[in-house]
Amino acid sequence: MYRTHTCGELRPENIGKEVILAGWVQRVRDLGAMSFIDLRDRYGITQLVADENTSEEVKKTLEELGREFVIQVTGTVRERSSRNKNIPTGDIEIEISGLKILSPSAVPPFTIQDDTDGGDDLRMKYRYLDLRRNAVRKNLELRAQMAHAVRSFLTANDFIETETPVLIKSTPEGARDFVVPSRMNPGEFYALPQSPQIFKQLLMVAGFDKYFQIVKCFRDEDLRADRQPEFTQIDCEMSFVEQEDVLNTFEGLTKYAFKEVLNVEVDNFPRMPYTTAMEKYGSDKPDIRFEMLLNDLTEQAKGKGFVVFDSAEYIGGVCAKGCAGYSRKQTDELTNWVKRPQIGAKGLVYVKYNEDGSLKSSVDKFYSPEDLKAWAEKLQAEPGDLMLILSGEKQPTINALGELRLEMGNRLGLRKKGTFKPLWVIDFPLLEWDEETKRFFAMHHPFTSPKPEDISLLDSEPGKVRANAYDLVINGVEIGGGSVRIFDSELQAKMFDILGFTPEQAKAQFGFLMNAFKYGAPPHAGIAFGFDRLVSLFAGLDSIRDVIAFPKNNAGRDVMNDSPAPVSKEQLDELHLQLVKKIK
Amino acid sequence: MYRTHTCGELRPENIGKEVILAGWVQRVRDLGAMSFIDLRDRYGITQLVADENTSEEVKKTLEELGREFVIQVTGTVRERSSRNKNIPTGDIEIEISGLKILSPSAVPPFTIQDDTDGGDDLRMKYRYLDLRRNAVRKNLELRAQMAHAVRSFLTANDFIETETPVLIKSTPEGARDFVVPSRMNPGEFYALPQSPQIFKQLLMVAGFDKYFQIVKCFRDEDLRADRQPEFTQIDCEMSFVEQEDVLNTFEGLTKYAFKEVLNVEVDNFPRMPYTTAMEKYGSDKPDIRFEMLLNDLTEQAKGKGFVVFDSAEYIGGVCAKGCAGYSRKQTDELTNWVKRPQIGAKGLVYVKYNEDGSLKSSVDKFYSPEDLKAWAEKLQAEPGDLMLILSGEKQPTINALGELRLEMGNRLGLRKKGTFKPLWVIDFPLLEWDEETKRFFAMHHPFTSPKPEDISLLDSEPGKVRANAYDLVINGVEIGGGSVRIFDSELQAKMFDILGFTPEQAKAQFGFLMNAFKYGAPPHAGIAFGFDRLVSLFAGLDSIRDVIAFPKNNAGRDVMNDSPAPVSKEQLDELHLQLVKKIK
């Protein structure tokens, strides 16, 4: 037996007991007459002591120990003279009677403690050591706990967890697929799923009624900081439901997870139409932890001779509470901030609504105090506030204002980490026009149902058709999205037509789905949550990388095991493939 | 709202209530004055009735209905005149007041009922219809229930469910990998995991202590009936444990699943050394639901002038209880059975131990009754039994006898489906010699620890070294397997050397693992269960295909969506790949 207890388990009631512990040496303190070892495992830290009563043999082994050695220790639990209140085992210590090195350790490339001295690259390369740090492992424990809570809720609500295939058919729609050459079917390829969308719809056709799966999905996209080539979804689908049924069910799931895992009660989720989100928050994923709404000043601000505004399609602003005292340096800095390419504004107009009721703006030349008062009224500004105004083409300006709003929220400390404000964004447009390819794309995906009252617009004004689609947004992060699905093969065929598929292409790619709809398809709807993002939100992290045990870097590489890697010519031959040119 | 209740929910206490149901038309019976519809969903079947009080509008819609139409019905729950005891809703029926077709159905290619008229191919092509059949869907529900039970047990026992990557590094050891070309790293490939072996060991190095995952794994092998290119494992690993700890933990898990899911109590699992399994059952996965042990007759049967036996390395037999009365036809048939290429015996010798105590064999010319009595004693045969004897080279003969034992078990009804007899097979050889390549292969995998007492044999007689490896076998099926792992980088390097890796190859492939062992690796051990097989065992099925929602056929194809499929030249160009020759 390697241990009788873990390193987080012993308490005063164990005093006098002979125990065996095993774990990693967190640190050794040699105080001459006495030596102390902090022994660590996943469950905690226990202090080991050697003193004048300790055998020579043990003392000799003690001298060999270094950080991260794996040892097994036998000893007696005794009361600690100076209690350590910071750890649950702080009342006791172990008087060492036997000590064995199970596995020595070289000096680790960085220290294994909460505030490590290892940089990102080093920690990724030695990920197995980084995962030893409490702060990192806790995130993975949280992840497991969340997955368990999600499964408990959905299972209790009659959802059947069903595994769908990983080796599936490649589809040209959506992001780029990872493909897998088939040796048994030379010249043919599987694809890895971007989502189990079609399979879950087929499960509804199959009468499964309620399906879920916590499942790996894959996208071969150029990676940003917050993207991974493989990611995990909580994927769900329900039959005989309308949009409200879905929203209520998954609002229930989300509240359950918050309560179960974080012991946080969240309010009922507001439902906000997409157009409101865009106009009032400048984003389809509004952070509603704070107000500072966007307001349209076009009518008020145009036609007074300020050419920048007069030539603008849209003028809009936000009101930063209590910021009237911003210095010139601060407003200049904000101006530079909005001009950054990611934000793309040409400039920033500000109006200070001073505490004394006077107004001071960067465009005083063109606007009277009465003009500015009208703006203040529109922006609900009061004495002491700072109004920030952008102008230009409508959509980009709204987007930039949305970003500015978030930035001000950050600066004013309005985006508190422990506060969670979920909402549903609903009534998304069904289609998005792509200027480059001159065609419509499905905003959600090609299986999303138009709102019944908008179906008549499909032929005349497809861009105006709204979808029965919805996103779950928490604190400005899109956590989940879904839709009511088309379950009629003719409407589905029409959608493919609008999306530019020829009937032949639609049949080749999705024929089996449209065929399935011919044998009695139930009305159905679903949703998928980005599990990595949900966990990182719960963990209070900004990136998903720290909630993934073995993440890849921005080039899609695992730097720990140096993959991807070349394969042998024999392997390629078996797959009837060759590299186009010798690379590397 | 599409429904107020499911089709499995209504009971006499609901009589008089107005309800809305939705589901599939199982069948329509038109009896002139009255019509009956069986309405089906996942939860059950409810009878709907139209009679003289039903509106003309409803009656008109009724006439359009066919099997598998999806309908929504409004009506009042009433008592049924003739109770149907076969279904839980059999006391009530719904008097239809409103009827709406949600989705019509073409005539399905086979009937959606337990005993369908659809052949295998048709049912695979229309898998979404096959899954509507209770018998098939129940298997998937069982699967979900089992996964939930496994997770509950392991989570309650401090295991952290941790997701490991699907896009990993290709390794030459083991079966063939599926590979995934990396667009961002041209000329390089990921592999899909055959198991998360190395990652789970790294999680132990990381101090996770107890890990599990229910995870998809992949093998690009030529498929047999019971193999799929993607399959699911319950993958587990523990630190600071010895073999007995692992066996006890997972014996606990298995018992819990049997109790929780099937309400079956299974006995404690015997531990049987590999050599005993081979010698007494002719198999490393013995079916211990019945005895009929193999016994060695070499000593007893040699040297009596029967040249077949005299020239054999091994002579062994089994005793079929109560079969002394077998006719010539039956023994001839058994002889033909053992001669089949899959069994490979050259012939069969039988001895009938008649009820009157006399002995009659197919080799009476060479053996006296006393000789045969000695065999009977060895085989523990009694009057009324039939002894079946094979001879030849030792290993193939033992294998053939093992198969014969199972066949006789089948014929005698000794392999009962509802009976479950798990056992641990332990003490496997560490290495297997491959005559073709003239090298040793790891019997389990290269990370398996030799038994400490056998390490000294590694250099001198590697073939004799036993491993701390174990298999969980239930009813003759290998359900799981695992081992205590090497956690010492030097011993690991030695293993790679024995397996024919050069130090450079070992470093290139597994350098990061051996490196990880240098920073304090805990002793660890683990196991993986074949989840598909475990479910099919619980479901009483012979194939894993019916416990997989969307399985592939023996050519690795999904015939429902016709994949794998060719991809576009543009996709290949992006991956810097080309097909070696135009195929298809």
Which residues of chain A have a CB within 8 Å of the CB of B167?
Answer: 178, 218, 229-230, 552, 556, 558, 563-564
Instruction: Note whether B351 and B384 are same-domain residues.
Output: yes
Per the structure, the complete domain to which residue B297 belongs is given by 290-411
* Average of per-residue pLDDT across A398-416: 97
Separation CA A227–CA A220 (nearest Å): 10
pTM, two decimal places: 0.95
Helices vs. strands in chain A: H and E counts, helices first: 17, 23
pLDDT higher than 90, residue A327 = yes
Chain B interface, mutation test: which of A235, A563, A570, most B Cβ atoms within 10 Å?
A: A563
pLDDT digits (tens, 9 = 90+) for B28-68: 999 888 999 999 999 999 999 999 999 999 999 999 999 99
Distance CA A222, CA B469 (A): 43
A118 among the known binding-site residues? no
| Chain B residues closer than 8 Å to A70 by CB | 520-522
Partner B contacted by A272 (CB < 8 A): no
What whole-number percentage of chain B has pLDDT above 70? 99
B534 in a structural domain: yes
Q: What is the mean pLDDT of residues A451-460?
A: 92
DSSP code at position B108: P
Tell me how far CA of residue B137 lies from CA of A406, B360, B529, in angstroms: 49, 52, 23
Quick check: B182 and A556 CB within 8 A? yes
Q: Is A162–B172 a contact, with Cβ atoms under 8 angstroms apart?
A: no
CB B206 within 8 A of CB A131: yes
Give residue B222's pLDDT. 84
Q: Is A130 part of any domain?
A: no
Which residues are CB-contacts of B53 (< 8 A; sequence separation ≥ 6)? B95
Rounded CA separation B561/A575 (Å): 22
User: In 3D, which of A273, A193, A214, A257 has the Cα closest to residue A469?
Assistant: A273
In a domain? residue A124 = no
Same domain, A268 and A143: yes
SS3 A324: coil
Mean pLDDT of B233-262: 98
> Are the beta carbons of B47 and B89 closer than 8 angstroms?
yes
The token duo for A237 is 């689908």
pLDDT exceeds 70 at position A34: yes
| Tokens 């009252």 found at | A453
Sign of the dihedral defined by the CA atoms of residues A215, A216, A218, A223, in that order: positive
In the predicted model, is pLDDT for residue B442 greater than 70? yes
Q: Phi, psi (5° rounding) for residue A266?
A: -105, 150
> In terms of Cα–Cα distance, which of B377, B380, B379 is closest to B390?
B379
Nearest C-alpha in A relative to B489: A103
Looking up tokens 């799966």, which residue turns up? A213
Same domain, B259 and B324: no
Whole-number Å distance between alpha carbons of A328 and A333: 8
Element (H, E) at A307: helix A307-310
What are the pLDDT digits (tens) for B254-275? Answer: 999 999 999 999 999 999 999 9
CA dist., res. B241 & res. B245, Å (int): 6
> Taking all residues of chain B, what is their mean pLDDT, rounded to a whole number?
94
Contact B467, B527 (CB under 8 A): no
Average pLDDT of B531-546? 94
* A182 at interface of B, judged by CB pairs closer than 8 A: yes
Q: Which parts of B are annotated binding residues for L-aspartate?
A: 173, 219, 444, 485
- In this predicted structure, what is the pLDDT of residue B225? 65
Span A302-311, mean pLDDT?
Answer: 94
On whether A533 is known to bind a ligand per the annotation, the reply is yes
Q: Which residue's entry shows tokens 């000096």?
A: A107
What pLDDT is attached to residue B263?
97
Phi, psi of B429 (to 5 degrees): -60, 145
Instruction: Please answer yes or no on whether B43 and A151 come within 8 Å at the CB atom.
Output: no
Q: HEC states along B149-161?
A: HHHHHHHHCCCEE
Q: Using H for helix, E for strand and C for coil, what is the string for B3-30?
A: CCCCCCCCCHHHCCCEEEEEEEEEEEEE
| Closest in A126, A557, A561 to B185, CB measured | A557
Q: Indicate whether A518 belongs to any domain.
A: yes
Q: What is the mean pLDDT of residues B335-350?
A: 94
Q: Are residues B403 and B453 in the same domain?
A: no
User: How many domains in chain B?
Assistant: 3
Residue B408 tokens read as 């006789």
Rounded to a whole number, what is the distance in Å from the CA of A559 to chain B's nearest CA? 10
CB contact under 8 A, B128 and A577: no
- Judge: A183–B220 Cβ closer than 8 Å, yes or no: yes
CA distance B166 to B217: 8
CA separation for the pair A299, A315 (Å, rounded): 8
Q: CB distance from B74 to chain A under 8 Å?
A: no
Residue A261 belongs to domain with CATH number: 3.30.930.10
Q: Give CA separation, B55 vs A371, B58, B98, B103, in Å.
A: 68, 5, 8, 21
B561 within a domain of the structure (yes/no) = no
| Res B356: pLDDT | 95
Those residues whose C-beta lies under 8 Å from the C-beta of residue B45, and which sit 6 or more positions away, are B7, B8, B26, B38, B39, B87, B89
A523 Cβ under 8 Å from any chain B Cβ: yes
Residue B385 and residue B464 in one domain: no
Strands (E), A257-335: 271-273, 295-296, 314-320
* C-alpha distance from B463 to closest chain A C-alpha (Å): 28
Pairwise CA distance, residues B373 & B395, whole Å = 26
**Locate tokens 């504004």: which residue?**
A345
Residues B318-328: b if buried by 16+ CB within 10 A, e if exposed: bbbbebbebee
Among the candidates A411, A442, A460, a domain finishes at A411
C-beta of residue A531 within 8 angstroms of C-beta of residue A234: yes
Provide the total of helices (H) and of strands (E) in chain B, helices listed first. Answer: 17, 23
Interface of A with B in 8-67 (CB under 8 A): 22, 24-25, 40-43
Quick check: B504 pLDDT over 70? Answer: yes
User: So what's the pLDDT on residue B173?
Assistant: 66
Res. A584: pLDDT tops 50 = no
A500 shares a domain with A427 = yes
At B438, the pLDDT band (50, 70, 90 cuts) reads confident
- A110 lies in a domain? no
A35 part of a folded domain: yes
Dump the DSSP string for A485-539. BP--HHHHHHHHHHTT--HHHHHHHHHHHHHHTTBTPPPEEEEEEEHHHHHHHHH
Question: For residue A437, what pLDDT is reported?
Answer: 87
Predicted local confidence at residue B228, as pLDDT: 93
Q: Are A378 and A385 in contact (CB under 8 A)?
A: no
Cβ–Cβ < 8 Å for B286, B423: yes
A156 close to B (CB below 8 A): no
Examine residue A548 and state whether it is found in any structural domain, yes or no: yes
Q: Please report the pLDDT score of residue A116 as a whole number.
A: 80
User: Binding site, residues of B?
Assistant: 173, 219-221, 228, 444, 478, 485, 530-533
| Strand-pair partners of B73 | B21, B99
Residue B120: which pLDDT band, with cuts at 50, 70 and 90?
A: confident
Residues A398 and A495 both lie in one domain: no
More confident residue, A483 or B509: A483
The whole-number average pLDDT for the span B282-289 is 97
A174-200 exposure pattern, b = at least 16 Cβ within 10 A, e = fewer: eebbbbbbbbbbbbbbbbbbbbbbbbb
Residues A428/A275, Cβ–Cβ less than 8 Å: no
| A chain contacts of residue B241, beta-carbon cutoff 8 Å | 2
Which residues lie below 8 Å from residue A437, measured CB to CB, with a gap of 6+?
A: none
Nearest Cα to A34, choosing from A22, A48, A23, A46?
A48
- The confidence score (pLDDT) of residue B511 equals 86
Q: Percent of chain A, pLDDT > 90?
A: 85
Q: Given an 8 Å threshold on Cβ–Cβ distance, is A103 in contact with B521?
A: yes
Which of B 409-448 lie inside 8 A of A, CB atoms?
Answer: none
Q: Can you give the pLDDT at residue A173? A: 66
- Cβ separation of B179 and A520 shorter than 8 Å? no
Q: Is A208 part of the contact surface with chain B (CB cutoff 8 Å)?
A: yes
pLDDT score of B399 more than 60: yes
**The pair of three-digit structure tokens given for residue B442, joined into one six-digit string:** 């790891």
> In this model, does residue A415 exceed pLDDT 80?
yes
Say if residue A378 is in the same domain as residue A430. no
Percent of chain B with pLDDT over 90: 85
B25 contacts B66 by C-beta, under 8 angstroms: yes
A&B contacts, CB < 8 Å: 350
Interface test with B, best of A148, A200, A240 (most B CBs within 10 A): A240
**Does B180 contact A at CB distance below 8 Å?**
yes
CATH for B43: 2.40.50.140
Strands (E), A80-196: 92-103, 160-161, 179-181, 189-191
State residue A130 phi and psi, 5-degree precision: -60, -35
Mean of the pLDDT values across residues B563-578?
91
Q: pLDDT tens digit string along B180-196?
A: 999 999 999 999 999 99
Query: Is the pLDDT confidence value at A102 over 70?
Result: yes
A167–B229 C-beta distance less than 8 A:
yes
What's the pLDDT score for residue B118?
A: 79
User: End of a domain among A392, A411, A430?
Assistant: A411
DSSP state, residue B558: B
Cross-chain Cβ contact A218/B167 below 8 Å: yes
- In angstroms, how far is the first alpha carbon of chain A from the final one? 50
Note the pLDDT of residue B584. 46
CATH number where A338 lies: 3.30.1360.30
Q: Are residues B193 and B313 in the same domain?
A: no
**Token duo for residue B437:** 């390549």
Q: How far apart are CA A379 and CA A292, in angstroms?
A: 9
Write the residue in A1, A144, A582 that is nearest to B162 by C-beta: A144
Q: Compute the C-alpha angle B242/A549/A129, nearest 5°.
A: 65
* B31 plus B82 within the same structural domain: yes
Q: How many residues does chain A have?
A: 584
| Residue A96 near residue A50 (C-beta atoms within 8 A) | yes
Residue of B nearest to A558 (CA): B168
- Domain identity same for A268 and A295: no
Query: Which range (A99-108, A333-342, B110-119) has the least confidence?
Result: B110-119
* Domain co-membership, A250 together with A361: no
A445 in a known ligand binding site:
no
Contact A130, A124 (CB under 8 A): yes
* Residue of chain A whose alpha carbon sits nearest to that of B561: A512
Exposed, middle or buried, A511 (CB in 10 Å: 0-12/13-18/19+)? middle
Give the Cβ contact number of residue A365 at 10 Å: 9
Distance from CA of A243 to the nearest CA of B (A): 10
Residue A76 to residue B514: CA distance in whole angstroms: 35
SS3 call for A500: coil
The average confidence (pLDDT) of chain A is 94
**pLDDT for the residue B582:** 54
Alpha-carbon gap, residue B37 to B47, rounded angstroms: 6
Q: Is A251 annotated in some ligand binding site?
A: no
